[in-house]
C-alpha cells in the first residue's frame, strides 16, 4: 500500500501542474483549481487500488477534476450561465479527444503558461511567488517546500493560502499577459525561478552551503518554460545560466562540507553534460539576434569559466567586458563588485581595488559579506595583510552561512599581522 | 536525482533493423514529452554490438574482443538520462514509454550517483593537525 501511494504520488508530481492549469482555465481561480485537482488525487488514491491505475492516469485525473469543477459550478446558481458554456466546452473536448490529441496538448501548454504567469504575478511578494510556483508548477508538497526553505510547515501553508487569496481578491486574470506587459511579467517569472535556484545554489541560511534538490526544481521549471516559450531569448539565457552554474554543484563543496571557490574547483569533476546543455541554451539565446538580456549575459560570463580548461586560462578581459555590458542594462552594486573582481583578474588587483573602493559607501551593500570579502582578497594580493585581515573578519561577522564564516575566519588567520 | 533508463538489445536491434514509422513517431512524441516536462537530460541510441568491441581486464593483462556479442540480453541498445524527484517517478516515466521493440522488450531503471552519494564515497581522511587546509 505504501508503495502504491508512492507510485500515485509520482503520477501526481508529473500530472498535477497540467491538471491544475486545465481546471484553472475553467474556474479562473488557481486556488480553487488546486483544491479540485487535490480532490481528484484523493479520488485516485481511493479508487485505483480497486480499479487499477488507468492507462492514461493524467487524462483520468484531468477528467475527474474537471467533472468536480462542473459539479461545483452547477451547485453555484449565480454561475449558471457560465456553467452551461463550460459544460458544452468540456463535451466538445471529450468528444474530440482521440483525434485532436495535438490540439489538446497545445491547449494544455497554453494553460501551463497561464498558470506560470499567474503564480508569479507581481501582486504577490517574492516569497509567496516562490512557494506558489513550487507548489503548483513544481508539484512539491507544502512539507517539501518547508523542508527546502528550512521554514515551519505552518508558515509555508499560510504563505500559500494567503497568496491564493490575494490573487482571488485582486481578480488576477488567468492569462498570458499581452505583448505590452509581457517583458515585465516574464521578468517576474524568471526572477522566481532564479530565486529558487539560488536558494539551492548558495543557501542563505542553515548549515549547508548547497541544497541541490532546489537547483533541480528550478532547472526543471526553467526547462519547462523554455519548451513553452521557445522564442524568448531570456528564457534560454536563464536556463543556460542555471545549467552552467549547476554543473559546478558537486565541486563547490569539499569533503567536510566546506565551500570551494570557483578558481579552486576540480574542473574535471564539473558536470560536462550540464555545461554542454548550458552552452547550447546560450547559443539559442544568442541566435535571436537581439542584444543579450541580463540572464544571457550572466550565462555568457559563466560560459567563460566553463570553457576554460584551467583557472589560468580564464578569459578575464572578456568577463570584465561582459560585466560592463551587464552594468549598462542592469546596473547594481553587486554587478559592480563582480566587475571589480574581473578587472582585478584581468588588469591587476590595484585596478580592481579602485573599483571596489568606489562602492565603499554603497548603502545597499551594508550587510553584504562579499564586499569586505573581495576587498580583503585584493588587499591580500597587494600585500596589505593587516587591512586584509580586518576585511575578512568583517565579512565573517556579516555572513549568515556557517560554512562560509569558517572559511573567512581561516583566511583572516592566514594574514600575517 | 538522476536515473538512466537502459533499453536492452533484441535480435532485431542487433541485426541493425530500424523501427517502423509508427514506433518512430511514438518514440519521438515520448522524447518530446520528457523534454516538455523538463526531465530529459540526454538520450542516445547505440549501434549493434557488431560495430563494437570489448576490452577485457585480467590483472594487468588486457584483451580486445571484437563484436558482435551473442548474449543479446546483456547488451544495451540505447538509453535516456533523466532527472526526477524519486525512483517511483522514474518508473512512472518508463511506463509511459512505447514498447521499444515488437514482442519482448525490457527497460532497466538505474539511479545515477549524485552529490549526496559522493559524500559517502569519498574515503575519510584522518584530520590534519592544524585544520588549515582550504
The Cα angle at residue B37 between residues B33 and A199, in degrees rounded to 5: 165
Which pLDDT score, from 0 to 100, does residue B127 have?
A: 37
Across all residues in chain A, what is the average pLDDT? Answer: 89
- Which chain A residues touch B116 with a CB distance below 8 Å? 212
Residues A188 and A116: their CA atoms lie apart, in Å, by 10
Interchain pair B134, A220: CB under 8 A:
no
Is A249 in contact with A201 (CB distance < 8 Å)? yes
pLDDT value, residue A281: 98
* DSSP one-letter code for B89: H
Give A256's DSSP letter.
Answer: T
Contact between chains at A273 and B114 (C-beta distance less than 8 A): no
> Which run of H or E residues covers position B3?
strand B2-8
d(CA A141, CA A265): 34
Q: What percent of chain A has pLDDT over 70?
A: 91
Is A308 in the B-facing interface, judged by CB distances under 8 Å?
no
Instruction: Round to whole Å and give the CA distance between A413 and A177.
Output: 54
Is pLDDT at A151 greater than 90 in this prediction?
no
- pLDDT surpassing 80 at residue A37: yes
Distances (CA, A) of A234 to A189, A195, A216: 11, 16, 19
In this complex, do A224 and B91 lie within 8 Å of one another by their Cβ atoms?
Answer: no
- Number of A to B CB contacts under 8 A, please give it: 67
Q: Is the pLDDT of residue A300 over 60?
A: yes
SS3 content of chain B, % helix, strand, coil (to 5): 30, 30, 40
pLDDT band at A209 (very low <50, low <70, confident <90, very high): low
What H or E segment, with its residue span, contains residue B118? helix B115-121
> Omega before A254 cis (within 30°)?
no
CA–CA gap between residue A338 and residue A342 (Å, rounded)? 6
Asked whether the beta carbons of B123 and A259 are under 8 A apart, the reply is no
pLDDT at A396 over 90: yes
The answer to whether the beta carbons of residues B116 and B48 sit under 8 Å apart is: no
- Under the banding of pLDDT at 50, 70 and 90, the label for residue A148 is confident
pLDDT band at A200 (very low <50, low <70, confident <90, very high): confident
The pLDDT tens digits for B75-134 are: 999 999 999 999 999 999 999 999 998 888 999 999 998 766 655 554 444 333 433 323
C-beta separation of A401 from A201 below 8 A: no
Flag whether residue A10 sits within 8 Å of chain B, measured between CB atoms: yes
Non-local CB neighbours of A331 within 8 Å, separated by 6+ positions: none
Predicted-complex ipTM score: 0.84
Closest by Cα among B93, B73, B72 to B3: B93
Judge residue A129's burial from the number of C-beta atoms within 10 Å of its C-beta, 0-12 exposed, 13-18 middle, 19 or more buried.
buried
Is residue A98 over pLDDT 50?
Answer: no
pLDDT digit string, tens, across residues B12-50: 889 988 888 999 999 999 999 999 999 999 999 999 999
Q: What distance in Å separates residue A138's CA from the closest CA in chain B?
A: 10
Separation of alpha carbons A174 and A187, rounded Å: 18
* Residue A45 Cα to chain centre, angstroms: 30
Global confidence as pTM: 0.87
Cell of A310: 584551467
Amino acid at each position: 500500500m505504501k508503495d502504491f501511494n508512492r507510485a500515485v504520488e509520482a503520477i501526481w508530481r508529473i500530472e498535477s501542474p497540467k491538471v491544475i492549469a486545465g481546471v484553472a482555465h475553467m474556474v479562473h481561480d488557481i486556488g480553487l483549481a488546486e483544491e479540485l485537482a487535490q480532490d481528484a488525487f484523493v479520488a485516485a488514491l481511493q479508487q485505483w487500488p480497486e480499479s487499477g491505475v488507468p492507462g492514461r492516469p493524467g487524462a483520468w485525473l484531468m477528467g475527474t477534476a474537471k467533472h468536480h469543477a462542473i459539479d461545483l459550478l452547477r451547485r453555484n446558481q449565480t454561475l449558471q450561465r457560465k456553467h452551461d458554456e463550460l459544460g458544452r466546452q468540456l463535451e466538445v473536448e471529450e468528444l474530440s479527444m482521440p483525434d485532436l490529441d495535438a490540439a489538446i496538448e497545445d491547449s494544455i501548454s497554453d494553460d501551463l503558461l497561464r498558470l506560470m504567469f499567474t503564480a508569479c504575478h507581481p501582486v504577490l511578494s517574492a516569497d509567496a511567488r516562490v512557494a506558489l510556483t513550487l507548489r503548483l508548477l513544481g508539484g512539491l508538497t507544502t512539507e517539501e517546500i518547508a523542508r527546502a526553505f528550512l521554514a515551519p510547515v505552518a508558515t509555508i501553508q499560510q504563505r500559500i493560502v494567503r497568496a491564493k487569496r490575494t490573487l482571488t481578491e485582486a481578480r488576477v486574470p488567468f492569462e498570458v499577459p499581452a505583448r505590452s506587459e509581457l517583458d515585465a511579467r516574464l521578468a517576474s517569472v524568471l526572477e522566481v525561478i532564479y530565486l529558487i535556484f539560488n536558494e539551492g545554489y548558495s543557501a542563505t541560511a542553515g548549515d549547508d552551503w548547497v541544497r541541490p534538490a532546489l537547483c533541480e526544481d528550478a532547472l526543471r521549471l526553467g526547462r519547462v518554460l523554455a519548451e513553452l516559450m521557445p522564442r524568448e531569448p531570456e528564457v534560454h539565457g536563464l536556463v543556460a545560466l542555471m545549467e552552467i552554474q549547476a554543473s559546478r554543484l558537486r565541486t563547490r563543496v569539499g569533503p567536510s562540507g566546506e565551500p570551494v571557490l570557483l578558481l579552486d574547483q576540480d574542473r574535471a569533476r564539473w558536470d560536462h553534460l550540464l555545461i554542454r546543455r548550458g552552452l547550447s541554451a546560450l547559443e539559442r539565446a544568442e541566435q535571436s539576434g537581439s542584444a543579450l538580456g541580463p540572464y544571457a549575459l550572466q550565462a555568457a560570463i559563466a560560459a567563460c569559466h566553463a570553457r576554460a580548461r584551467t583557472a589560468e586560462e580564464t578569459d578575464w578581459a572578456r568577463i570584465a567586458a561582459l560585466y560592463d555590458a551587464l552594468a549598462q542594462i542592469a546596473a547594481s552594486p553587486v554587478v559592480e563588485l563582480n566587475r571589480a573582481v574581473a578587472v582585478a583578474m584581468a588588469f591587476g588587483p590595484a585596478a580592481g581595488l579602485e573599483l571596489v573602493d568606489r562602492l565603499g559607501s554603497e548603502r545597499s551593500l551594508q550587510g553584504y559579506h562579499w564586499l569586505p570579502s573581495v576587498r580583503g582578497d585584493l588587499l591580500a594580493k597587494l600585500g596589505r595583510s593587516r587591512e586584509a585581515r580586518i576585511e575578512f573578519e568583517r565579512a565573517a561577522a556579516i555572513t549568515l552561512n556557517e560554512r562560509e564564516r569558517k572559511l573567512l575566519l581561516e583566511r583572516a588567520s592566514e594574514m600575517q599581522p | 536525482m538522476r536515473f538512466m533508463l537502459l533499453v536492452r538489445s533484441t535480435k532485431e536491434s542487433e541485426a541493425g533493423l530500424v523501427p517502423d514509422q509508427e514506433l518512430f513517431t511514438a518514440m519521438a512524441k515520448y522524447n518530446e514529452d520528457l523534454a516538455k516536462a523538463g526531465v530529459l537530460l540526454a538520450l542516445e541510441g547505440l549501434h549493434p554490438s557488431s560495430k563494437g568491441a570489448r576490452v577485457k581486464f585480467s590483472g594487468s593483462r588486457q584483451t580486445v574482443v571484437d563484436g558482435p556479442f551473442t548474449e543479446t540480453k546483456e547488451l544495451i541498445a540505447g538509453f535516456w538520462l533523466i532527472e526526477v524527484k524519486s525512483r517511483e517517478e522514474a518508473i512512472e516515466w518508463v511506463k509511459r514509454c512505447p514498447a521499444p521493440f515488437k514482442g519482448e522488450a525490457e527497460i532497466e531503471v538505474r539511479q545515477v550517483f549524485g552529490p549526496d552519494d559522493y559524500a559517502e564515497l569519498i574515503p575519510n581522511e584522518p584530520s590534519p593537525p592544524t585544520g588549515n587546509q582550504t
